Amino acid sequence: MEPWRTAISNVEQNRILIRGRPVEELMAGGNFADVAFLLLRGRLPTAAESRTWNAILIAVADHGPTPPSTMAARVIASGNRRALEAAVAGGLLAVGDAHGGAGEATMHILRRALAMIRDQGITAESVADRLVDEYRSRGERIPGIGHRVHTRDPRTEALWAIARDAGLAGDAIEVMRALAAAIAKSGRPLPVNFDGALAAVLVDMGFEPAIGKVAFLLGRCAGIAAHVLEELTRERPMRIEVPFVYDGS
């Protein structure tokens, strides 16, 4: 069997190196989110990146019991009282395309838009108009815009302010605003949701699109765990019921 290879960490007897740094050094005075950044990116964040990255993880950490991930985790915990890892993992499985996946999808669009701006020498507004037309002609929605609960997502402006103060706000935020404006031109105005907000910031920070989903999984893991513990400690087993109608023949 060929040995596996990894550039992430090296574990020898009595010595653990994470991206080349002794774990004890990272532990002393460290910030967990920074070490997650180190693991994912291969280097520690700057102070500006750390503030912004922490803000992203905080923003996605919880959104109440009703998103599919948290709801599924609580339902699983109501049947499986002894394996909280099953409930937490089961919750993360709901983070797919319709829930928690828009960040990654939006990052792909933003990177394409930035390439169009750069290669064709056109403005963010023109690119936004073209993309909105293109999606509309296919009968699809641009991800990252609109929310089932919020008409103005409080996390979006908060994150963009943090990124701006940190000096990390760049062209992707501008494109994201242009996309929302292009949509508003031909219909009702929709807010940039937090998937769109984090996508723009992660692109401006130089991350690959997959990090859009990883940030959501890691941040929401905290909220899901809290809800699972609340289910296990405050609620009786099997308490969850849904009304249903049978409409078969």
For a copy of itself, which is the closer residue by CB, 116 or 217?
A: 217
Taking the complex as a whole, how short is the minimal distance between the CB of residue 124 and a copy of itself, in angstroms? Answer: 25
Taking the complex as a whole, how short is the minimal distance between the CB of residue 46 and a copy of itself, in angstroms? Answer: 15
CB 107 within 8 A of CB 143: no
Query: What residue type is assigned to position 244 of the chain?
Result: F
- H or E element, residue 9: strand 9-12
For a copy of itself, which is the closer residue by CB, 19 or 136?
A: 19
- List Cα–Cα distances, 38 to 7, 46, 91, 206, 238, in angstroms: 12, 11, 25, 14, 41
Q: Is 13 exposed, middle or buried (0-12, 13-18, 19+ CB in 10 A)?
A: exposed
Taking the complex as a whole, how short is the minimal distance between the CB of residue 26 and a copy of itself, in angstroms? Answer: 5
Q: How far apart are CA 194 and CA 190, in angstroms?
A: 12
Taking the complex as a whole, how short is the minimal distance between the CB of residue 16 and a copy of itself, in angstroms? Answer: 6
For a copy of itself, which is the closer residue by CB, 153 or 174?
A: 153
Taking the complex as a whole, how short is the minimal distance between the CB of residue 141 and a copy of itself, in angstroms? Answer: 11
For a copy of itself, which is the closer residue by CB, 137 or 249?
A: 249
For a copy of itself, which is the closer residue by CB, 113 or 163?
A: 163
Q: How many CB atoms lie within 10 A of CB 169?
A: 19
